[in-house]
Structure 1
Amino acid sequence: MFSMACKTQIVPFFFSITIHFFLLLIIDSASSQQILTIESRSNPAASEDCNNRWIHIRNLPSRFNLDLLTNCSEYPVFDDFCPYLANHGLGQKTHARSRSWYRTDPLLLELIFHRRILEYPCLTNDPGVANAIFLPYYAAIDSLRYLYGPDVNSSSQHGMDLFEFLQSDEPGIWERHMGHDHFLVMARPAWDFSQPLSNDPPIWGTSFLELPEFYNLTALVPEGRPWPLQEHAVPYPTSFHPQNLSYFQAWIQRVKRSRRTSLILFAGGGGIGSAPNIRRSIRNECDNSTINSNISSSFNIIQSNVLHSKLCHIVDCSNGICEHDPIRYMKPMLQATFCLQPPGDTPTRRSTFDAITAGCIPVFFEESSAKTQYGWHLPADKFAEFSVFIPKEEVVFKGLKILDVLMGIPRSEVRRMRQSVIELIPRVMYRRHGSSLGLRSKTDAFDIAIDGALQTIRDKLGNMLEH
């Protein structure tokens, strides 16, 4: 009895001490890295490559970022994200010998982005010469107290503390362009920050993006609204974060060599209710294809000169069981030709980027799932080269069979599409911080997001001058 009582007291205390020690390491490492990087890169004559690319990282009090991580276990209705803080937000490795794979939580994109921007080669400690100002504010993590915590009825206040700080501490930085040159990362869909200020009582979400104080801000989010005002969509982080070029190239070779034994794969949950929707249609069609395959005298299905041992494979990811366990779905994705990306609670899915990483051709059912979202990373005019689009209404209400559409694509076209998907892999991955110089030659999702933010800010400032 005594030993059990001691255990229940010691384990939470030890875990708390471990988390706080870990956060101190983050703070010390990040601070020293930032000082060294800024001092070494802040000379405008250092490199012509930095022309119009200088970024100043706003010095925010730790209550706006690192302190928020100490509350990682305080939102039981949401989740305990303490286990995923390791490796500066990449999470723990999937197994001890893993070289590139981590149990990454998408919520920690803000921490991942913060760590990566400390390595950006064009940082300046002089906001007066900066082309853009980065706010290292963990907006999505801070929003948890309004979405799931004690401040649920005060969601219109989300962001006001930050704005008051920006107005009181070196106000000239904000006032120089009235926030048009500022940007930040918000690791939740823009819908979660778009509750109208007039909602009383609040329904869902905070009102950060509805505050007039932040109308001029540029926000990088994993999913934007159809009418992008302040936000631009960037890829969800996957679990693949290589640290050098050889690890990256080894993965690419594995993707190219992988035998695609399943025609289509759906990794996800939902679709088990009686209401008609695209996920239910997918499950019904997949179940029927399995029955027909078992009845067939030959289990191997030959279509378009391609041999598949399965027409349809479902990886059930209900209740979030796949979210931090990429082993569950990455191997099936490596073995599939097409990966279905039906919308869920919102149009976009992290699975889209998992599929691309596995060289699996994504199949979309709404244009807002990717085509109208990730213009920086997935050019809209090239979607037909690397993906398939099937309108969900045609499937759910008109009986169009997904299998018929995909089986009708010639083998040569499938081969070209897969090659296009593989070429996209570096554009949607976030390489590990501290990666090798060789790997840094590959433009990744972070690099593209930074370039996109800088161009957006240049366009906004240019419009201001014209008017």
Structure 2
Amino acid sequence: RTLSLWGNRWCHRKRLRIACLPQRMVHRQEMRGLLVLLLQVGLAVGSFKTLRVRHTLQGKTGTTNGPKIPAEVLSSDATGSLQYPRIFVYDSKPSWRVYKNFWKGMSEDDVPCQGDECIYGIKQPISVDGKSWNTRIPGQFWNGRMYHHRLVNSYPHIVTDPSEADLFYVPAFTEWSSFHPEDGDVCYNATEVRESLIHYNASTAHRHFAISPRVSSGDQCPLDLDHGLQWLSLEDLQYGSKISIPYPTALSGMTPSEAHEFLSAVYHVKREHLVAAQFGFHGRTATLRQSLIAECLKDPQCANCGELVSRDAGCYVKQYTDSTFCLNPVGDTPSRKGMIDSLVAGCIPVLYSESQLVMWTNHVGDWRDIAVILPEEQWNNTFSVLRAIPEEEIKTLQRNIHNINYRLSVYREPEASEADQVHEADACDVSMATLWAEVRQSESECVGSLGGTCLPTIHKRMTHTHHSSKKH
């Protein structure tokens, strides 16, 4: 209303008398409109505060135990502390989380997993600079179980009162592909999940989120919610969410102290090989992959484990820690687990597509600071191009990788001796903080909406994606 009155004033200034209201009426209506505007803003702020309770994470001198969120991920408030979400977890049934019982082939007799191996993967000892480390071999679609365990068991800001919540976690996911119905029951009971979301409505939908462990939209069982849902997925392109989460890594399940020690070791280790090439011949770049492996097998400075089977997957972790560059051609989709595996091993990723540069930017930042990106005209000369990179540039890339490496994995809760230490944010923390920042940003765009329900831009985007996905 106020905008229309301002427009009418412009109309009179331009002397466009046609369709302009009389000036006296304009002044009288403008005053009335401004009073109504102030009243509506006051009511909106009051009601908004009851829903939105912010929580700030203190720094090392603060009293709140919890990880530090990197300053570049979230903007600081006036006091310099960082915004961090309180999360309400819906009650759920175990059947809402559909796991693969075990990654077939990870053990000689395919026995069911035991203990934390069911969360982080089977242990795989490797040696770095003479010291042995227990890395893990998680399934590439295990983010659901890792994030769920982290949120339910060791995320420091879970609330039981929904009125205090900033975000709402819907604990339902599947690790199976719905593209393969022959695998059996791959989906949870969507009706049960929908009926449990008693705090879900048009105003709170954009604050609800779930984890999608897989990549393609067909791999996530549909909930068919009227107002959409925030999905945290391996790739953000399929669900309309701006939050993509990295693949599980070999560091999954380490304690924070173990992770720091391992990352320091791989940062300083002397690397024996120029290049590591570990991938199969599939995807959109199958021909490129074949030519790269053929070149690798002829070059003594290239490490390759041969045709990997799952129980030998520890080989690639060792080869990555021994190599300066790790080749990562695009696979079936732009993302590739090897991109993250390379980084946590301190190996510089070599990327072959601009589409790879949009992956997990909330966690890794700008890929150009931590990777080598080869244009198509250089694909056939990959090895000679890498050999020509100056040593100083290599050191800069390795230092940049070391600076962001810790936030790429989901870690086990600290040991008792580490409880009083202030730890940096891991992959789960960064994802939650980034999602919360996205929600706040989208809600700030609603300021000034005077009539009806304000749908943040993130909400509109989710709703559009939700309806589009039903067509497929």
Matched residues in 1 for 2:335 and 2:283: separation? 20
Q: Could you tell me which residue of structure 2 aligns to residue 448 of structure 1?
A: 430
Q: Tell me how far 1:184 sits from its aligned partner.
A: 1.1
- Mapped pair 1:260 → 2:271: yes
Q: Could you tell me which residue of structure 1 aligns to residue 360 of structure 2?
A: 374
1:314 aligns with one of 304, 307, 310: 304
Which letter does structure 2 place at the counterpart of 1:372?
V
Q: Could you tell me which residue of structure 2 aligns to residue 333 of structure 1?
A: 320
Which letter does structure 2 place at the counterpart of 1:250?
E
2:260–2:406 CA contact under 8 A, matched in 1: no
Q: Tell me how far 1:90 sits from its aligned partner.
A: 0.9
Q: Tell me how far 1:130 sits from its aligned partner.
A: 0.7
Q: Tell me how far 1:337 sits from its aligned partner.
A: 0.8
Cα separation, partners in 2 of 1:148 and 1:365, compared to 1, 3 Å: farther
2:88–2:168 CA contact under 8 A, matched in 1: yes
Mapping of 1:62-77 within 5 angstroms?
62-65=94-97, 68-69=98-99, 72=101
Q: Could you tell me which residue of structure 2 aligns to residue 429 of structure 1?
A: 409
2:335 aligns with one of 331, 340, 348: 348
2:171 aligns with one of 121, 136, 139: 136
Matched residues in 2 for 1:85 and 1:463: separation? 46
Which letter does structure 2 place at the counterpart of 1:410?
P
Cα separation, partners in 2 of 1:389 and 1:438, compared to 1, 3 Å: farther
Structure 2 unpaired stretches of 5+: 1-52, 57-62, 65-78, 455-472
Report the structure, 1 or 2, having the larger helix content. Answer: 1
- 3-state SS of the aligned residue for 2:137? coil
1:286 aligns with one of 280, 286, 296: 296
1:58–1:135 CA contact under 8 A, matched in 2: yes
Q: Tell me how far 1:223 sits from its aligned partner.
A: 2.2
Q: Could you tell me which residue of structure 2 aligns to residue 412 of structure 1?
A: 392
- 3-state SS of the aligned residue for 2:164? coil
Q: Tell me how far 1:404 sits from its aligned partner.
A: 2.1
Which letter does structure 2 place at the counterpart of 1:401?
N
- Mapped pair 1:186 → 2:206: no
Which letter does structure 1 place at the counterpart of 2:195?
S
CA RMSD of aligned residues (A): 3.7
- Mapped pair 1:222 → 2:266: no
Which letter does structure 2 place at the counterpart of 1:239?
A
- Mapped pair 1:457 → 2:439: yes
Which letter does structure 1 place at the counterpart of 2:368?
A
- 3-state SS of the aligned residue for 2:440? helix
1:114 aligns with one of 148, 152, 162: 148
Which letter does structure 1 place at the counterpart of 2:320?
M
Q: Tell me how far 1:401 sits from its aligned partner.
A: 0.2
Matched residues in 1 for 2:178 and 2:280: separation? 24
How many residues align? The count is: 366
Cα separation, partners in 2 of 1:85 and 1:221, compared to 1, 3 Å: farther
Q: TM-score, normalised by structure 2?
A: 0.67
Q: Deviations over 1:162-199 (max 9, x none)?
A: 3x33553463x00262521111111111x1x24xxxxx
Q: TM-score, normalised by structure 1?
A: 0.68
Mapping of 1:51-130 within 5 angstroms?
53-65=85-97, 68-69=98-99, 72=101, 82-83=112-113, 86-87=116-117, 89-94=119-124, 100-118=134-152, 119-130=154-165
Q: Deviations over 1:350-380 (max 9, x none)?
A: 11111111111110001223x2121110113
- Mapped pair 1:269 → 2:280: yes
2:202–2:227 CA contact under 8 A, matched in 1: no
2:178–2:220 CA contact under 8 A, matched in 1: no
Q: Could you tell me which residue of structure 2 aligns to residue 394 of structure 1?
A: 377
Q: Tell me how far 1:440 sits from its aligned partner.
A: 5.4
Q: Tell me how far 1:140 sits from its aligned partner.
A: 2.8
Cα separation, partners in 2 of 1:108 and 1:93, compared to 1, 3 Å: same
Q: Deviations over 1:32-68 (max 9, x none)?
A: xxxxxxxxxx998996979662110111223212xx4
Cα separation, partners in 2 of 1:433 and 1:330, compared to 1, 3 Å: same
Which letter does structure 2 place at the counterpart of 1:109?
N
Matched residues in 2 for 1:112 and 1:375: separation? 20
2:281–2:287 CA contact under 8 A, matched in 1: no
Comparing 334-343 and 247-256, the one that deviates more: 247-256
Q: Tell me how far 1:101 sits from its aligned partner.
A: 1.8
Higher relative contact order (CA 8 A, sep 6+): 2
- 3-state SS of the aligned residue for 2:163? coil
Which letter does structure 1 place at the counterpart of 2:278?
A
- 3-state SS of the aligned residue for 1:377? helix
Q: Tell me how far 1:256 sits from its aligned partner.
A: 3.0
Cα separation, partners in 2 of 1:414 and 1:233, compared to 1, 3 Å: same
Structure 1 unpaired stretches of 5+: 1-41, 153-157, 195-204, 291-309
Matched residues in 2 for 1:44 and 1:259: separation? 43
Q: Tell me how far 1:237 sits from its aligned partner.
A: 0.8
Q: Could you tell me which residue of structure 1 aligns to residue 261 of structure 2?
A: 250
Q: Tell me how far 1:442 sits from its aligned partner.
A: 1.9
2:194–2:225 CA contact under 8 A, matched in 1: no
Which letter does structure 1 place at the counterpart of 2:323?
A
1:174 aligns with one of 171, 181, 200: 200
Q: Tell me how far 1:439 sits from its aligned partner.
A: 6.6
Which letter does structure 2 place at the counterpart of 1:266?
A
- Mapped pair 1:233 → 2:238: no
1:88–1:115 CA contact under 8 A, matched in 2: no
1:265–1:333 CA contact under 8 A, matched in 2: yes
Larger Rg: 2
Cα separation, partners in 2 of 1:384 and 1:74, compared to 1, 3 Å: closer
- 3-state SS of the aligned residue for 1:267? coil
